[in-house]
Each structure stands twice: as C-alpha cells, then as structure tokens.
Amino acid sequence: MHALYDRLKALFPLGELTEQRANLAFATLPVEYLRPALLHLRDQEGYTHLVLLTAVDWLEDGQENCQFQLTYLLNNRAENLDIGLRVMLPREGTTMASIHDLWPTAATYQRELREMFGIDFPDSPGVYEEFILEGWNDIPPYRRDFDTLKYANDSYAQRAGRETRDPETHMKEQLYPGKS
Amino acid sequence: MKPELLKRMVKGPDGVEFEVEPMRDYYCDAPPTVQHGAYIKIVEDFFNWARAESLWILGFGTGCGAIEMRPLMTPRFDAYRYGIQWRPTPRQANLLVISGYLSTKTLKRAIRAYEQMQSPKYVVGLGSCTINGGMYWDSYNTIKCLDQYMPVDLYITGCMPRPEALLAGFEDLKKLIRAGKAEGANQYAERFDWYKANQKQVIHDWDMPDYNW
Amino acid sequence: MVSPLYLIVLALAAAFLLGLLNPERRGRAYAVTLVALAGMTLISADWLWAFTMEGIDPVDVYTAGAEPPFAINLRMGLAEAALTLLVNLTGLLSALYLKDVLLAGGRRTMAVLLISVMALVGIILTRDLFNLFVFFELVVISSAGLVLLANDKDGGPASGLSLSAGFKYLIVSQFISAFLLLGIIFAYHATGTLNIDGMANASLGLATGGTIAFFLMFMAIVAELKPFPANGWALDIYESAHPAFSAIFSAATGAAALYAVDKLLLIGGAEWLPIATGIGIVTFIAANLFALPQTHDRRLLGYSSIAQTGLVLVVLGQRDLLGDSTPFIAFGLLISHAVAKAGLFWLSGLLKNRQLADWAALRQRPLLVFAFVTFTAMLTGLPPFPGFYAKWELVHQLAGAGQFTLLGLILLGALIEAGYLFRWFGYLMKREAPVETVPCTGHKVGPVLVAVAAGWALAYLWGDLAGGLFGRDNLLLALPLLFALSFLLLDWLPAWIKNSLAIAGMVAFFLLTWGEYDPLRLIFAIIFLIGGALTLLASYSVHGRRIGFYPAAMLMYAGMVMLIRATTSFDFFAAWELLTVGSYFLILRGKHSEPHALSYILFSLGGAFLILAGFALAAAGAPQFDLASLAQVAAPAAPWVFVLLAVGFMTKTAAIGLHIWLPGAHAEAETDVSPMVSGILLKAGLYGMMVLLLAMGKQQLYGVELTHVLLWIAALTALIGNLMAVFQEDAKRLLAYSSIGQMGYALFGLALMNHLGWLMALVFVINHYIYKSMLFLAVGGVAKRTGTREMYKMGGLIRLMPLSFIAVLIGIIAVSGVPPLSGFGGRWVFYNAIMSAEYRLPMVVLFMAGPIAFLYLFRLIYTIFLGQLKDELRRVKEAPFWIVLPQMIYVALLLVFAVVPGLALRHVDAYLNQFFPEGGLHWGGGTIISDYGYWNPVAIMIIVGVIFTTVFALLLIVNRKAQMVKQFNIVFSAERPFRPETTHYAWNFYAPYRKAMGFLTQPFVTRFWDTLADLLHTAGDLGRRLYDGNGQSYGFHFLAFVVIVFFVGGI
Amino acid sequence: MDFEWIKIPYALLTLFIVVNFGMLLGAFIQKIGARVGRRHGIPIWQNYADLIKNFGLRTSITHGVMFYLGPVFRLTGGIGLLLFVPTIYGSEMFSNLSFSGDLILALYFVFFGTLGMALGAGESGHPHAAIGISRGLSQVSMAELPFALAVFAVALQYQTLSVTDIVAAQQGGIANWTLFTNPVAVAAAMLGFLGSMMRPPFDVVIAPQEIPIGPPTEYHSSYLALMQTNRAIFPIAKIVIYMNLFFGGAASWPVFFLKVFLIYMVSVIVGVVFPRFRVEQSIRWFLVWAVPLGVLSIVLV
C-alpha cells in the first residue's frame, strides 16, 4: 500500500495516507487531480473496479468551504487491494466532474448523490431523473442541515401516545429492575 | 406529472389530429362506492364464513416483515390449513398485509394494489412500523400511521412479530370477518376524500387516477 | 386481279417519281410515298381476299414472258399474299409514323423506304435464287440507308450510334452476300438452274458439291434471321435505329427472311430440317436468356425479335413432323410476333427515355397500356391470340411425335420470355412515373392502335381458323369471355355501375346455367359465380372509375367459369390461361405487388406450360381430347401426364415448393382483391386436381404411388403453411400462409382417394371460401382504417370495430375447427376419411399442423382486436359499410353451413358414390353417420348454445354490477403501464415457439428459386458479353456460326 | 342414440356428481402434495369455501365484452366436454349427451374453452395474459400431437370413433384394456396427458413467480369462480376420455372415481418430482420422446 502511495505521491499532490486495514487505505487529493489519478490507478496500477462512490457531509466539522467529501473507492482485483481517493468540495452549489466515461456504473452513484446530497454532476447520463425519492420537495435529505425529525413531524401524522426511550436505560430497566 | 401522462396531440391514420389525455382516456375515473352485503342476513353470514375461511393474501412484501410471512408456507407453520393462501395478483387477493415499514414510495404501490383488490378486502398491519413508525418514527420517508392512508382491520404488533403471532392475528381477523366487522372497503369508500387527502399529502408526485380500478 | 408485279412496279415508279419532284415540296413527296405504299397494301390485301374468300390457285408471273429456267418468275400464293400484306402494311404504318423524319429527310429518305419495302416484297415473291440475292442486297443497302437517315432524333443528323450500327450492318452483310453469291454459283454449277423449284426438283443435295453449295446459301439466308450468336449487329440496329424502322426491321424483314428460308428449305430437303430446328431453338433460348438482364427497352425488343424468329425457324425445321398444320403454326407465331413487335417498337417511339422502368410514363394513357397488354399477351402466346393456338398445336404435335426435349426447350424459352415481358409490364404499372407526359400525336398513336386492332382481329381469325380445323368454338365468342371483354369498352363508367353490372352478370349467368352442372361442379360454380358476386359487394367501397379493375376481375371469373364448363382439354387450358392472366392483372393492382405479381405469373405460366405439356402428352397427337378420356391414357405416358398436370395444378394451390408467390401476392393485393384471389382463385387449382384425380385415379411411377407422394406434399404444405403463418407480423401475410396450409388440407383430402377424403376436400373448399374471404375482408378493412398491416401496431380495436371483430372471431373459430362452427365438420370428415386410408405416416405431419393453426389464429385476433389500443388509433372508425356487409353475410353463411352442412354436402356425397362407392355418409335426420362415427351438428349447436346461455345468465346475475374499466386499469405489479405500445405484447408473439420450431421455417424454397433466377440472369449476363459492339467481332461471330453449324450439323 | 328430455336431468346429475368429485379430488390431491411436504395441507372442503367466497365478492370490474365472456366460454367448454362423452359405460342414465357426436367432437371441443378463455384474457390488455397464452398455445401445439396420434391408433385398432364402442371393445377383463392391447399408444397418450394438465414440469404457462399466473391475471370474483368450477370439471372430463380410450372405461361410479383418481395421480407424481420446463424445452421433449411413440403406435396398429 505504501509503495503505491509513494508512486502516486510522485505524480499527484496526495494528502496523507489513512490506512484502514492492510489492504484498504484512503488518501485525499485536490479536485483537479482526481481524474488523472483515477485514470492512472485504473490503467497503470490495475485498480479496474469502482467499488463505490459516496459522499460524506462534514457540516459539523465547520471547515470553511470544504464540507462535502467524495470518496472514490477502487479495487485491484488481482492483488486484493482497495484504495479510496477522497476529494473535498464546497457545500454550496456543488458540482463535480462526472466519471461515468471511466466506469459506466458511476452514473448510478452520481444520480444518487445528486438526489440525496444535491451534488451536481452535469453530463452524467440521467443524473436529473428521480432515483430513489419520488416527488421530493425539500432540500436533499442526506445533507446534514436537513432536519429529518422536523420533516417527519411536518409531513406525517404521528400516532399520539408514542413514547421514546433510550434503549440502553430502558433495557436495563426491563432486565434488572431497580438496579440503575 | 410524468411526460407519458401529459395530454398530447396525435395524428390518426386518416390524417386528422386529435388530443389524447391519458388520465381520461386510459384510466377509469369512477370513484369507489359503498357495497352492501346480501339482502338476507343468513346469506351474508354464509358468505362471511366463506370469506373468513378463504383468506387470499396478496404476495406483496412491502417491507422487512415480508420475511416473516415466508415461514407460514413451510411445514412448521403451514398456514394453508387455516384456509390462507397467497395469490400473485391483487385482483384475486382479499388480504393485503403491510409487512413492516412502508416508505412513501411503496405506499403509492400499496394504495394501487389495495384499490385493485375486490371488496370485501382486508388490510393487516404488521409490526410496530405500521402502527407508529416504530424505529423509523423520525424517518423522512416512511409513513408513521398506516390507518391514515388505508383502512386497517388489524394490527399485529412486534418488531418483528413472529409467524405464530401472524397466525394468531389471522385467526382474529377471521373472527372479525365472521362477525361482519371487517368492512374496511366500505369505510374506504365512505371516507374516500379523507383517505385521498392524507395520501396526497405524503405522495407529492401523484401520477395516477384517484382510484385505481 | 392486279398483277403482283405491280407491287414492285408501284414502289419503283414512286421512287423514280420522287426524284422528279421539286426537292423542296416535301409534303407532296410524302403524299406520293404514302399513296404508293397504300397502293401496294391494297394490292396485297386484294390478293389475300381472293385467296381466302374466293379460293383461287397460286399465280406465277413470268417477267420476261418465258418459263423459269430462262426468266425470273414471281409467285403469288396465300402465304405470299399474307406476307406481302404484312410487309406493306408495316411499311405504310411506319411511313405514317415516320412523318416527321421523312419530311425532314426529304425525298431521298422516302425513296429508300420505298425501295426497302419493295425489296422485302421481292424476297417474298421471287422464285429465283439470284433474284433473291439481288433483293437481299437491296434490303441490306436500303436498310443501312434507313438506319443512317432515319434515327430517333426526329430528322436530325444520324447519331454516332446508329452510324456505327449501320456500318457494322454493312460489314456483316458483305460476309453474307459473299456466302450467298458463292452458294448460288456452286448451286447453279451443280444444277444448271437458278429457279428455286427447278433446283428442288434437281435434288441439289445429290449433285457434286451440291451440299456445300446449299450450305453456303442456307447459312447466308439464315444469317439474315440473326441467329445466335451471329446477331450482334442486329441488336445494335434495334438499339440505335428509329423505332419505326426497327418495326420494319423486326416485323417485315424478319417475316421476309423467314419466308426465304422456307423457300430455300424446299431445295435442301428434309435433311436440312434438323439443322434449321437446331439453329432455331438455340437462338430462341439464347436470345431469351440474354434478354433477361436487359434494361434497355429497344435492345430487349431486339432480343425478343430474334428469339421469336428463332421459334418460327424451329417450326419450319419441324415441317416434316407438323405437316399440314405448319402454316397455321408458323403464321400464328410469326404474325403475333410481327404485329406485337411492330406495335411495341412504335410505342417505344412515344417515350423519351430508354430504360424499361421509364415506360411507367405510359400509365397516363390507359389506351396505350391496353395496347401494351395486347402486345405482351400476343408475344407470350396467351389466349385468345394466334400465338396461343399456334403454341397449343405445336406442343401437341411435338408431344405426339415424342420430341420431348425440343418441347421442353420451347416451353422453357417461352417461360423466360414471359418472365422479362411481364417484369416489364410490372415496371410499367408500378414504377414511379416520370412527370413528363407522353406525346400523343395522331400519326404516332394511329399505327399502334392499328396494330392493336390487328391483334384482336387476328385473334378472332385464328380462333375461327382453329375452330374450322379442329371443330372448336371460337374462344372469342365464348359468352363469359365476351362479358369480361365488354368491360374494356365500359371502362369509362363509374365503378359502382360496373360493379352492379358485374354482379348482375355473374348471378344471371349462374341462374342461366346452374342446371347444367353435376353436384361437384355446382359447388365450384356457386363459389365462383355467386361467391364471386358476393365478394364483389365489397368493391362498392371503392369510388371513382377504377380503370382496369373490372376487365381484369371479370377475365378471371370468366376463366373460372369456362374452366368448370370445359369439356375438352383445349377449352380447359384456354380457360386456365384466361383466369391466370385475369388474376395476374388483379394482383398487380396492389400498391407494392410488383415483384409478387411477377412471381405469381411466372409460377402460373410455368404451371400452365406443364399442364399444356401434360395435355399434349395425353392427347398423343390428337389436337385435343375430352377431359373424361384422361382415364384412357395408356400406361407409359399416363403417370407422366399425371405428374405434369398435378404439378401444374399445384402451382395454383400453392403446394409446398411452389408456394412462394402466394404470400406476397395475396398480402399486397387490394382489400377486395385478396378475398378473390384467396377465397376463390385457389379453388381453380383444386378443381383441376379433382378433374385429374377423378379421371386418372391412382398412378404409379417407378413403382411409387403418385397419390402417396401427393399425400406427403399436401401434409408438408399444411405444416409449413401453418408454421409460417405463426411467425408473420403482417396480418394479410398471415392469412396468406394460412391459405397455403388450408389448401394443403384440401389437397390431402383429395389425395386420400376415398369417399370421405373427397368430401373433406369439398368441405374445405366451401369453408375456406367463406372464412378466408371473410377474414381477408375484415383484415383488409382494418388495414384500410389503421393504415398498416403490421399487427403489432394495432391492438384493442374491438370496441371501435366490433363488426370486424365478430367476423374475425367467427372466422377463427371456424378455421380452427372448434365445434360448434363449420370448421369442425371438415375435421370430423377428415378423421373418418383417414380411418380407411392406406398410408398412415403422412397423417403424422398433418396432425402436427393441426394445433399450430391455433397459434396464428389467436395471434390474429388478439394482436389486432384485443390488448392495448394505441394513441393514434383511438378515433378509428368501423370499416366501410360495403366491406362489412359481405362479412356479415359470410358470418350468416358460416352459421348456416355449421348447422346444416347437409344442404351442400348431401348431394355431393351422393354424387361421389359413383366414383367411390365405399364409405359414404348416412344422413339420418340431424345426425350424420359414417362407418366409424357419428355427428349431429344441430344438437351440438343447441347444446353448446344452451350451456353457454345458462352460464352467461348465471354470470350476469352474480356480476351485474361489474365496473367497466379502461385499458390501463390492469394490475401491473403495483405499477402502472407506461404507454400502450410498451404494454401491448404483440411483436414476435411466439418467440419461444420460434426457438423450438423456427428451424423449420428457414426459407429453403425461396432460396432455391432465387438461386435459379440468379443463375438464369447470370447466364444471360455472361452471354451478352459476346456482343462487344465491335464490327469485327460481329464478322467473326458470323464465321464462327457457320463453322459451328458446319461441324455440329455434320455436313 | 337420439335426444330425449329425460337426458337433461340425467346430464345435470352427472354434472353435479362430477363437480363435487372434482372439488374434493382437487383438495385431496393438494392434501397429498402437502403431506409429501409434511404439511397438513388445506381442509378438504377448502375449494368450496374459495368458490363461495369468489361468488360472494361484492365488486368486480370488466375490461369489455370478451373479457366478460371468457370464463363463460371456459366453463361451457368444460361442461360441454363432460357431457359429450359417456361417463359410465353401459348406463343409459350417464351416457349424457353423447348422441351429438363421437370422439372427434370431444377432441376438438377441448379447445372451445381454451380459445374463449384466451380471448377473454387477451381483452384484459395485460401483457402477462398474452405471454401466458403465447406459451400455452406453443406448448399445447406439440403436447397434443402424441395424444392425437394415440387416439388415431386406438380408433384404428377398434375401427370406430364412437367412445361407447371403444369402451365396449375393452370389456371382459383387465387384459382387454387398451393399456395392455396397445401399450405404445397409451404411453404416447399419457406423455401428452402430462403436457395438458398444467402441472409441473409443463406449467410454464401460469408460472406464478414470473408472469403472475399468466392468462387469468385479471380475473377475479365471479369470473374466477366460474373458472374454478371449470377447474373442477375440466380435468375430470379430460381424464374421462383417457379412461374410456385406454383404461377400459368405468361401469360404475366407484370404479369411475378410482380410475379418475389414479390417472390424475400420474400427472401429480410426475409434477412433484420434476422442475419446470421452458416452452422450447417442453416442445423438444415432446418431439423427442412422445411423438416417436405416437408414430410408432399408428405404425404398429
């Protein structure tokens, strides 16, 4: 993994390597280097498989202008290695270059990301079609600034008399009554 | 509205153009009506007995609870001995089991399937999620209260209820039917506007006729 | 009588007179030319009148007042009179036609024309060899002159093409002249006379050097006939010369040269006849073959001319065999050729462009189309034209003498010729017409019309002659044919009047004659006449004048009526040809039917030729025979007669292998034509089979029972027809393939050769007429309304076209044989029939075919009427009244026939007893009882009706409140359908079935025939390369021709 | 062999017996299937409850006239088929309406209901209905062939097409049954029988997992009730033909019940053992295994 990281580092301004497991690691790089890096990994290093493309909303981290994190997880089947390339994007008016021409499956991920996070991938096929939600009329629900409880209370009739308990204390209460 | 449902001008083979309005031309727009039972009580009771002894469940797993229905067909539980069968088409089914959480997207399909069933028809809500949302009580896309959207005859509680609970529930449903108390379809027809309003409140892209015959 | 010498004198004098006239007064010169030609025509006509009407003897004219060895003599006999009339008339009409050219070219051109005609007359009249040579030289020079002077640029300077053509002609003519002169010198040396009769008496062949002398002369004269391969020069002339001249060159020169050959053969005697035959047949076949790939109209006509000349040469070569009928045959062919070819050349002058497809321009003028049809029919030897009689006679005589190879070759050549002529006609009728109009000046159209009139007059004359010779009625006087032809004159009337007339005529004819038929024929008569009239009801839906429809349709019906009324082989065959031609014109009317109509006419004519050969073989030398006496045909010939006739008839019933014309022809035909050609026309073939089987019964060939072979053919036809129908997307094609299958069943019944088998065939005949007419009408009506025949584009039409739906519903129940409708009767009789059949294995195939019918029938009704209605078709209306009305009548008929089949079948059953005494049915009350089982149609209908009504009533009571929903109110896995197009499951409906059985539907047969056609085309194309347009190679061809004949002929 | 009014009540009696027998037999066979799977299975009267329930449903829809008539055709086909064939040999009472036609009538009347049902299902406009019919017709076109050949062989063997006469010829001991006098034909016919019973391995027509039950997808309420009634009658009517042709017919009701049950069991046993064939597989299977037997049978007779 380190060898790969070193080779990549020579080519692209990679951030530091986060090793999850022996065969899974992540590295961050600036947006403009993403595509060449993906191409290099795919064509030179044997990372031919796009495992997933996903986003994390780092709203609570409070980093200025840099709050969506996209992860492109690639897999090298021959050596059983995974590497995730991460890029950071601004939260407002987010657009990102599509990579559906590198992996056609990426189009589906991008469609989902547009719907759930509002990250736009212009040019990605069918990216503006509804994917999971039908007739969604609020901000994208996976964004951290979307208040799901408020939305649920506003949209759905809640049954009266429902109680919410903390599972941990409730189960202790149930199983070992009077010991808490 | 989806493009295929929009009004469109088409040219007939004789060259005359005319308008096609899919919602009007392709779908029946009659509302449901209240259906009374047989005039003679004993006949209606007889029919109710038959209805109770012949529960045909629509094979539509709406959520995770569907997994609990499968064991009912196995030798261990064998629901068939109670006159319960699964049918693949709503036209022939009388019992819609909402098995677990119901997302708004699935709700649309469930409504469609329910409306396509022939009355008298019954709805059983399975698990906490159908009752009050259960663990999805704050989810942005599951309904919390099934009876807001379709007339529920019976809830079976639990998360998840085990097959035995289902069997017990079905037996209770039979009692309701035999007693002539399972008139959900008529209730739906009577309070049609209320149900529709509720449904449309959560289904934002309503792209079907109000009643799916 | 004016001396025949004046024929020559008049022309010469006029030519001289022209020289004296003021060169600027061209009109006057033209008048002189016309007067001279008219005078010559009159003289010939006068002589002909005298020979035919007054019966005078031939007259010899001695020019110098001395007897032959010392002077030249001319002879005027019947043949000479007719031929000179032909030559002079052609000359006169061409002169008329050439008006512009002659006026522009001035007196010299006119003089050359006069000399040319005069020389041709001379060739015909003279009995002197050297004189013959002189006239030939004159012809050559004047012809070359005419080619140069008169080209198609209307009087302009000769184009390069015609210049070189004329020059090449001169080169080759020098070879010919040299041969002729040498031959004459040798012959004179050997016999001491130049007189043809004198030489004939002196037995030239026996004299020293006589053979070689005759050979040289013969080669020279034959070369004038443009035999293959020494004919490249002639083609260049045909291609480049003015069409009016080509008319002379083809009609007059050809006739004169043939007569010269005829005279020469007098000298040569019988031993030269085979050589003439050989040259003739090779030329006939080769020229026709080369014509096949031609696209240039005049060159094609040139090839055709050469071929026709070759055919006449064959006849001359067979004179020892044909005997007294030689002139009848030779003249029949020659005159047909001359009139038609002259007419066609004249027609070609009316058109600007030279591609065959450009003739579509003629379509603007129905009269000219009629002229074209007349000429084509004359050339292909269709009734009632002389060529038909001649061909009939020729084939009979050849078959009588056992000349089967020659006969086969002649028929093959004739078929190829019909191929390219009808293909041309197809172009004319169907290709896109150019915008320009056809100029219709009187002097150009006039000759064409005269040729047409001459054609019909000759048709009458030959009918009369043949009638006199062989004791027949003149074909042209047959009432049905006259009725059909009268529609030619009535074609200006609106369609509905003609339709009423047609219906009235057919019904009236049936009422007049119905007592004359035996029960078997009565069924066919009812289908042809009453059924035909019923089908014609649908024709009321067409408005306007519908030019050309009624003559064609009536011709077909006339042919069919004449077919069942025919008692002799000749009448039968003539009727067969008439109905073929009529139906061809009908089929050709469809919008995209050009290729299909062509393959129809080719298969039909091929079949007809086989029938002709079969009849000829059976006649054993007699000119005709009673159809009933087919039974007496003796052993070695009988099975072959059977095979020929059976294959011929099976081209019409579209048995497997011969079926490829049917789907396209039936599918592309017009809405009201499809039922005619399917419901009615196919029965003609079955009728033929019935006549054949009734008379000849079981035959064995090489120990193989032929009816057994028929059984297999029929069963395979049923299987493949049904199987193909399953995979069609086009509704009418589906029905067409289904017809093939149904005909297979009917043929199977006949081939069973037992009582019930025949009854079954008749049940199928009746049923198939009713339901296939009905289905074709219904589907045609739907196609008319929806603008498509592709079933998957329809769907859900049941509510919009309920009556059509009912017709199709009843139709498919009947076709499938499900009780209680009439189709079941057929199946029941079938099962009873096979119980006593000798062969069992063919049944397996037929059993296999049976259930397949359900597949295509369901598809037909489902994809059209059920399923999802499409956007565009939401406002479609029910089919027009006149298309629906006959369908409803058919529905009623089907129901009646289902309940009381005895109405039709009882009498036939009784009638069949005389042929198959065993195994008849017993008709007791409502129950029909056979040896094996029983069946009560009335009871079935009532029982099914009662049960159905009861159940229906029960459902109505329980289900009275059913909510009517619309087409998208279906359960769709809790989704909703996207659009009707994506919801209507219709295209490739039987995909899994195709996976399993599709291997049986490989187009083997189509591929076979395509390959055959390709081969013929390629052969023609390769052969054509001989003619490279080089004068030297043409000279070489001539020499090669001489050498080949020398060695092959064994001189 | 003529019509008498008394035949009508007799025929209704036959119908009554057969409907009830069919209902019970269907449940019984399902019960057997369940027991094989160690289940209790449905109550024996389950079919009655289902039928009454379907008749008792309060609403129904219709897609059009043919849709409405489809089940009517279907049931008419079933009842007609039953009544056109004599049920009990030697009994004037249960010879039904067989005076109206022989074996051929029965053979072709089989298609009456199928065709009508296919048309009705077609009008529903549901693609699954059309797919199911396409499969069903494709399959039946080959499955019928060995049966037709066997029938032909049997008819040839006895030289008659009358069902009564064929049964008569098999009387006088089990050795006289066609099963023993013409085993090849019977083998062919029984293979065809498997194909016509809509049980595995030849049930791709209704393939519940794939094209939810195929043709009847849209049918419900009383339509479905009619079809259920037919479902009770039709297989038995068909088996009666087999019984009469190949297994000596039945001279009394108990024999009738036994033989029908045993013949039915053939397809059941095959069905529980084999998985489902695709259409082209089943066509090929019939072509390779059943048709040659049929051909052999008509050659040998």
Do residues C465 and C531 share a domain? Answer: no
The bridge status of strand B17-20 relative to strand B8-11 is antiparallel
| Matching residue, tokens 């009655």 | D48
Chains C and B are in contact, defined as 3 or more C-beta pairs closer than 8 angstroms: yes
Q: Are A125 and A140 in contact (CB under 8 A)?
A: no
Q: At what angle do helices C594-619 and C386-400 cross, to 10 degrees?
A: 50
Dihedral sign of CA atoms C484, C486, C488, C492 in order: negative
B window 127-156, beta carbon within 8 A of A: 131-133, 137-141, 143-145, 148
Please count the structural domains in chain B: 1
Instruction: List the single residue in D112, D221, D283 with the smallest CB-CB distance to C818.
Output: D112
pLDDT in the model for residue C281 = 92
A164 is a domain residue = no
Tell me the mean pLDDT in the region D42-60. Answer: 93
Quickly state the pLDDT bin for C53 (edges 50, 70, 90).
Answer: confident
Q: pLDDT for C828-840, tens place per residue?
A: 998 888 888 888 8
Give the pLDDT band (50/70/90) at residue C157: very low
The burial class, CB within 10 Å (0-12 / 13-18 / 19+), for A113 is: buried
Residue of A nearest to B206 (CA): A135
Residue C55: its pLDDT value, please?
Answer: 81
Residues C503, C384 share a domain: no
Note the pLDDT of residue C151.
57
**DSSP states of C227-275:** -SSTTHHHHHHHHHB-HHHHHIIIIIIHHHHHHHHHHHHHHH-GGGHHH
Tell me, yes or no, whether chains A and B touch by having 3 or more C-beta pairs under 8 A.
yes
Closest to C150 in 3D by CA, of C252, C241, C33: C241
Strand order of the β-sheet with B122-126 is B84-87, B55-58, B95-99, B122-126, B154-156
- What CATH number corresponds to the domain at position A115? 3.30.460.80
pLDDT tens digit string along D79-128?
A: 999 999 999 998 888 888 888 888 999 989 988 988 888 999 999 989 98
Percent of chain A with pLDDT over 90: 49
**Cβ–Cβ below 8 Å for D46 and B83:** yes
Residue B20, domain member (yes or no): no
Q: How far is CA C271 from CA B128, C224, C402, in A?
A: 115, 21, 19
Q: What percent of chain B has pLDDT over 90?
A: 73
Judgement on whether residues C662 and C793 belong to the same structural domain of the protein: yes
Chain C nearest CA to D291, separation (Å):
9
Indicate whether C1031 belongs to any domain: no
Question: Quick check: D39 and B78 in contact, CB under 8 A?
Answer: yes
Domain that holds residue D184: 2-300
Task: Name the pairing type of β-strands A24-28 and A18-21.
Answer: antiparallel
User: Across the 180 residues of chain A, what is the mean pLDDT of every consecutive 10-residue run?
Assistant: 88 89 91 93 92 90 75 93 91 88 94 92 90 88 90 89 84 81
Contacts of D43 in chain B (CB under 8 A): 53, 81, 83
| Domain containing residue C157 | 5-472
- Of B139, B204, B205, which has the smallest distance from its Cβ to A152's Cβ? B139
| Interface subset of A 112-151, CB within 8 angstroms of B | 130, 132-138, 141, 146, 148-149, 151
DSSP C656: T
Contact D160, D108 (CB under 8 A): no
Interface contact flag, D79 C848, Cβ < 8 Å? no
Is pLDDT of C206 > 90?
no
Residue of A148, A158, A159 lying closest to B140 (CB–CB): A148
Nearest CB among B14, B27, B116 relative to C971 is that of: B116
- What is the value of ipTM here, to two decimals? 0.92
Q: Is the pLDDT of residue C156 over 60?
A: no
Residue C336 and residue C319: Cα distance in Å, rounded? 19
CB–CB contact D156 C944 (8 Å): no
Mutate: best of D72, D98, D160, partner C, most C CBs <10 A: D72
Domain contains C979? no
The CA distance from D234 to the nearest CA of chain C, in Å, is 15
Q: What is the mean pLDDT of chain D?
A: 90
Select from B10, B27, B91 the Cβ nearest to the Cβ of C871: B10
Residues contacting C892, CB < 8 A, separation 6+ = none
pLDDT at C238 exceeding the cut of 90:
no
Residues C497-510 have pLDDT tens digits of 999 999 999 999 99
Q: Do C550 and C632 share a structural domain?
A: yes
Partnered with residue B98 across adjacent β-strands are B125
For the cut 50, the answer to whether the pLDDT of residue C170 exceeds it is yes
pLDDT tens digits for range B55-83 = 999 988 888 888 888 899 889 999 999 99
What does the pLDDT average to over C146-153? 66
What is the average pLDDT value for chain C, to the nearest integer? 88
Inter-residue contact C60 to C21 (CB < 8 Å): no
| Three state DSSP letters for C392-453 | HHHHHHHHHCCCHHHHHHHHHHHHHHHHHHHHHHHHHHHCCCCCCCCCCCHHHHHHHHHHHH
φ, ψ for residue C923 (rounded to 5)?
-100, 90
- Give the whole-angstrom CA distance, residue C814 versus residue C816: 5
* Least-confidence region, from C120-129, C200-209, D264-273: C200-209
Q: Which comes out higher in pLDDT, residue B197 or C839?
A: B197
Decide if C73 contacts C58 (C-beta within 8 A). no
| Residue C187: pLDDT band with limits 50, 70, 90 | confident
Query: Residue C155 — pLDDT band, cuts 50, 70, 90?
Result: very low
Examine the pLDDT at C460 and tell me if it is beyond 50: yes
Element (H, E) at A26: strand A24-28
- CA dist C652 and C691 (Å) reads 14
Phi/psi for B97 (5° steps) reads -100, 115
Taking the mean position of all CA atoms in its chain, how far away is CA C819?
A: 42
Residues C529 and C450 in one domain: no
Structure tokens at A162: 């429902």
Looking at the predicted structure, is the pLDDT value of residue C57 above 90? no
Q: Distance (Å, rounded) from C-alpha C612 to C-alpha C891?
A: 39
3-state secondary structure of A69: strand
Q: In this model, does residue C154 exceed pLDDT 80?
A: no
- What pLDDT is stored for residue C4 in this prediction? 84
Residues C464, C533, single domain; the answer is no
Helix (H), strand (E) at residue A57 = strand A49-57
Tokens of C584: 């061809």
Domains: count for chain D: 1
Which candidate from D38, D43, D209 shows the least CB-CB separation from B75? D38
Partner D contacted by B26 (CB < 8 A): no
Please name which of C1008, C989, C630 lies closest in space to residue C792, comparing C-alpha atoms: C989
- Separation CA A58–CA C487 (nearest Å): 93
Q: Do A159 and B133 touch (CB under 8 A)?
A: yes
Please give the structure tokens belonging to residue C406: 């020659």
How many other C-beta atoms are found inside a 10 Å radius of the C-beta of residue C822? 26
C948 and D109 Cβ atoms separated by less than 8 Å: no
Chains touching C (at least 3 CB pairs under 8 A) are B, D
Using 50, 70 and 90 to split pLDDT, how confident is the model at C293? confident
Range of the domain at B190: 40-202
- The reply to whether C182 touches chain D by the CB within 8 Å rule is no
pLDDT of residue C261 exceeding 50:
yes
Q: Which CATH number covers residue B178?
A: 3.40.50.12280
> Which of D100, D108, D124 is closest, CB to CB, to C827?
D108
Residue at which a domain ends, from C906, C931, C947: C947
Quickly count: other Cβ atoms within 10 Å of residue B37's Cβ: 17
Nearest alpha carbon to residue D101 among D119, D79, D86: D86
What is the average pLDDT across D120-143?
90
- Interchain proximity A156–B133, CB inside 8 Å: yes
**Buried-state track A38-51, b at ≥16 Cβ within 10 A, e below 16:** bebbbeebebeebb
Asked if residue C584 belongs to a domain, the reply is: yes
pLDDT at C633: 83
Token pair recorded at residue C306: 């050469």
Identify the pLDDT of residue D209. 63
Contact D50 B54 (CB under 8 A): yes
Any B CB within 8 A of A166 CB:
no
Residues of C in contact with B25 (CB under 8 A): 874, 966
Number of domains making up chain C: 2
B76 at the D interface (CB within 8 A)?
no
Which residue bears the tokens 């390629």? C1018
Contact between residue C205 and residue C214 where contact means Cβ atoms under 8 Å apart: yes
State the average pLDDT over residues C298-317: 91
